[in-house]
Amino acid sequence: MLKNKTALVTGSTSGIGLGIAKALARQGANIVLNGFGDAEGPQAEIAALGVQVAYHGADMSKPSEIEAMMTFAAERFGRVDILVNNAGIQHVAKVEDFPVERWDAIIAINLSSAFHTTRLALPAMKAANWGRIINVASVHGLVGSAEKSAYVAAKHGVVGLTKVTALENATTGVTCNAICPGWVLTPLVQKQVDAKAAALGLSNEEATKLLLGEKEPSMQFTTPDELGELAVFLCSPAGANVRGVAWNMDGGWAAQ
């Protein structure tokens, strides 16, 4: 379905971003990966799906590096047809204790980077009259949780950016939507499980149950594969008039 399209997924060396990149590759899209850590393993996983894959290590907190990545993708594949803004970090502390440097980093990586990639991807998408922008927000783009001020502010901002981008392009073939996962067991969440286990003297299993039980009625993690299939739907012809939604996949979290 996505043969001859190119998808750029930020923060795709692990977790949700890699899951979405693999789902789009299974539909035939060529992939530009981004993120820190091991890039060779993820590149090999994507290449094994029979598509072309490239990697750019831009730091999403740095607009000049984001610009270099977008230029790299356009030069390598012609243009970016599908942009998935996924890179994100977390920090947990009360507002009055929140390190200023962590606030700035979360806003830059989780929110401003999506503005930069979007503004740089839109001209070519509009010229082609086809494009899909998928912002990986969070259930925290819809509701708050204590001790996550920067993250919740950034994710609400991403949902706002999604709506405005969708509206500005509503009469074109370019759509923009947000995906709002609840808990997904990735390194980002395992750190929060570990912190709970250490603070309360619990086993990994007990801390996981507590984490899910506090928020997620299904008591189940959403998986990167499930989120990848939602991204595939948004890229499909049936998704052509889905515009500006914030679609939660959260085991009932936001229904409470």
Positions that interact with ligand NAD (CB under 6 A): 11-17, 34-37, 59-61, 86-89, 109-110, 136, 138, 181, 183-184, 186-189
DSSP state of 139: G
Assess whether 55 carries a catalytic annotation.
no
CB of 113 to ligand NAD, least distance (A): 7
CA angle 221, 196, 256 (to 5 degrees): 45
* Of residues 74 and 254, the one with the C-beta less far from ligand NAD: 254
CB of 251 to ligand NAD, least distance (A): 11
Q: Which of 55, 77, 151, 253 is catalytic?
A: 151
Nearest C-alpha neighbor of 157 from the set 138, 171, 174: 138
Between the alpha carbon of residue 249 and those of residues 100, 128, 229, the distances in Å are 31, 30, 11
Nearest C-alpha neighbor of 227 from the set 197, 185, 172, 166: 185
* Strand bridging mode 131-136 / 30-34: unpaired
* Of residues 137 and 174, the one with the C-beta less far from ligand NAD: 137
CB of 159 to ligand NAD, least distance (A): 12
For the CA atoms of the chain, what is the radius of gyration?
18
> Residue written as tokens 């009469």?
171
Nearest C-alpha neighbor of 81 from the set 47, 111, 109, 121: 121
Q: Which residues contact 152 (CB under 8 A, 6 or more apart)?
A: 140, 144, 145
CB of 136 to ligand NAD, least distance (A): 5
* Of residues 98 and 130, the one with the C-beta less far from ligand NAD: 98
* Of residues 93 and 128, the one with the C-beta less far from ligand NAD: 93
Q: Which residues are catalytic?
A: 151
